[in-house]
Amino acid sequence: MSRSVSHDAEQLRVLCERLLREQPQSEPLLQRLLARSRRMGRECAFAPIEDRRCSACNMTVASAQFQKAKAGEFINCAHCVIFLYHDE
């Protein structure tokens, strides 16, 4: 089973805190993504990158963006806008 979009509330809280600590300018987008995910009946604004793909929509992540994520930054999927992170 894929680890795609996390529904774990604790992990979501940790990821939100980390994002806001490292990239405070991302708060408005985070709030919009959380509101959208609640309307869709799930709690997700983050997804890990798996095999250089967004695990939420399966689109390939550009090399430059992948390198940023690998360095520890959160990036946004160019297709579904969800926050992506490298989880290795």
Query: Which of 12, 53, 32, 10 lies closest to 75, judged by CA?
Result: 53
Delimit the domains of the chain by residue range. 9-86
Task: With H, G, I as helix, E, B as strand and everything else as coil, classify residue 11.
Answer: helix
Instruction: Give 16-44 pLDDT, tens digit per residue.
Output: 999 999 999 999 999 998 898 888 776 67
pLDDT at residue 5 tops 50: no
CB contact set of 86 (below 8 Å; sequence gap of 6+): 48, 49, 66, 69, 70, 72
Instruction: Give 31-82 pLDDT, tens digit per residue.
Output: 998 898 888 776 678 999 999 999 999 999 999 999 999 999 999 999 999 9
What radius of gyration, in Å, describes the C-alpha atoms of the chain? 12
